[in-house]
Structure 1
Amino acid sequence: MAHIISKIIRWNHLHEDLNEQSPDELKLHLNKIFLRLNKFYENNAEEIPAKKSKSTLEWVDNDLLTVEACLDRIWEMLNSGYWKDVPVNYRYCYSLCSVFKSILLGLTINTENDHALTVGQIKEIIQQIDKGILLGAPLPKSPNLLTQIASELNQHYSDICKTNENLHEIKIDKESLCTTLFTGFSSIVHLTKPSMETFYCDIFRPKVPALLEGCISYWPSLELWKDTDYLQRVAGTRTVPIEIGSRYTEDDWAQKLVMFSDFLKNHVTQKNDKVGYLAQHQLFDQIPELKNDFFVPDYCSFSDKEESDDSPDINAWFGPQGTVSPLHYDPKNNLLCQVFGYKRIVLYSPDDSKNVYPYETRLLCNTARIDPYNPDFENYPNFQKATGYMCYLKPGDMLFIPPKWWHHVTGLSPSFSISFWWE
């Protein structure tokens, strides 16, 4: 296991990142670990033995304690204030420590041990690498190192672990879905496979919300991602952040790191008292294998800037029936693409911003206090002046949401969506 990781590493790059990016208070400790590991692999380049000598296990155990102490110190820094204010060298160091800890844990694995024990140890290593991806920062000299390690280990896990989680299929009862407009709401523009010219002239340039049908029917993900066996194989051992609770404006809302397979089993393929939602997560940067299953829509090539070579921000939205994104707006153009499942979206123009009563706090200034399905006209009387629009997303649809347009999203079934944000 450690040998799989070591073959991916370019040790000279790792050493440069360690010396150039680590905080001074941790650099000396981590340099000692690096030198020991590098020397060990130089002397055992061909194959790491299944049984380690007593002396090897001694320094491995001691170095694991040191790495854990460094991770604890970094954790304090990561949680000492606003995330944006965390010095980036501590995030780099979290990535480095995750690599070192994973190698050291790999050296403790005895391939002659019980199969279940070995599988559990591999899971622990993958979880540590994912924490490095989620909490650390891409290393300047080796920006893809952690994602490469995680991909290799997940593949190795799939190869040796023939058991499965007995996941149920993702069931969607489309016959029971209501897809009619509610009283008081208007429809938005519907177009089928609009040309680039039509999209630019009629939708993008005037900033008109529109439902676009038939544009992503060729995506492999439309079929692949309904298959829990496929999702389990590609992402089952990976750790992802999910939201727990009804919506992020409520007191019962919380965030949690869980294994993807546990999220599938406990929140998507069977009912749970608490809604779990993998929301607004850059899943495809974390698990690049999934990028092969979809494509960036050509419509994203239009820009509001004179010159822009920026790629869109791509986020995953995956959850059961009952997920809710409260009424809010995004500052960028948004193409919300429905891979499977059904969603209902309510929209309001930026002209109605005052009428939907945004929160006054900086953190929630892009979120409205209004629930469009249960309006409180006594406290928010001007909401009666707002003009609401409604549409339903089905598999293969995409919705263009212009910047600053308010939108409320409800999952009517288990659902997987991808959003593309760009300027």
Structure 2
Amino acid sequence: MTAGQRTTGQRPAGPVDADIVICGAGVAGLAAACALGRLGLDVLLVEKQRYQPPVAKGEVLQPGSLNLLHDWGVLGALEARRAVRLNRLVARRSDGSELLAMDFGQLDTERSWMLAHDYATILECLGESLGPTVRREGGVLVDDLLRDEHGRVAGVRTGGGGREIRARVVLAADGRSSRLRRLSGMTADPVAYGHRLLCLELSGKPPVADEVSAYVTDRGLVMVYPLPDDRIRVYVQVAADELRKADRARLRQWCEALLADVPAIGPLAGALQDGLDSRQLLPVFQFRAPSLVRPGIALIGEAAHGVHPLAAQGMNTAIGDAAALASRLAGADLASRTAADAALRAYETERLERIKGIHTMSHNAARMMTSTSRSGRVFGRRLLSGTARSGRLRYLTTYNMSGLGMRPLGPLDRLVQFGVLPERRAAMPLLGAR
């Protein structure tokens, strides 16, 4: 046994309380419950919080996620709640001129757009789509793992050891600081970026296009997109201590400096000043766990990976985790430990490479658009402009962002981006295009 295994209780194999116990009811946990419940599995979803606090995260769904949410019966509920369609992701200069526009309408998919809504509403719609074989309990803190006589994870212990829940498979969906990841002997090393994101929610229906606009400025990233009910989300890159102990006068000065640095967001001036009182300051991390499974347990969502929110990939990757895991468990005899663990290993093999590609793409995008050094700004803007000049690379980048698949750019593509090599290949890759 590993050191992590020695701390946990052991129980012999026997009757189970659920086929699957999912620990954590964020997007990853709820998506897994949706997908596994549709298989007719007996699923128990437990969450330590009774109510979801409001938080600005996970608001933009990519086309690949929309297809899955449609299959799970979630998409209609989001659309009924006035989710906003976003057709493009555009990198812009501070004056608003385009550096690189990714138009999702060119993709060969039934839902060629992004969708934006509040994180709490996305959770609500996922929760409404859980099947009849899914049970859900809030206010349940999982504090240990159960193991059978072979050391295989066989369930969880909750409430300070007062309750044991036996399951054929345990899913850790308990976030970046996952307790279950540590108890299972798996590791991750979250690394903080050198900046934070100031998050503002604006109202008053100022003019904003149906797209995500990411402004690449000398002060770093500024990102703007619409939300339902005439609201606008704004993220502004700030240094860790930039607004520490700032009073109202200091915040007003900071806002005036922001508008001077990014004149394109001038129409939001009044709303920005009004929104400062309800600001959130968010730390930003990146990581990916080197392994996703141990016998009887698997990591999904932020327990397994984290990326910069710029590319809107974190929540969407979690939804992909849930779908991939369900597809592997669908044909497995979960009563057989050997078969169940083989399915978990197949999930790990499939997802590790995909997560690596998404992580690399998101980190590269973050470096291009958040650098505040002169060399970093020049490097990033040259890459963005070079991608925009090539229809093929522009399409590939849009496709990779969409969640429909991953075709990483190679060394020759990088030389085309820098203008060292001319673009000699077809304008569109063989991915299917409208």
> Is the structural similarity TM-score above 0.5?
no
**TM-score between the two structures when normalised by the length of structure 2:** 0.25
Whichever structure has more strand as a proportion of its residues is 2
Quick check: which has more Rg, 1 or 2?
A: 1
**TM-score between the two structures when normalised by the length of structure 1:** 0.25
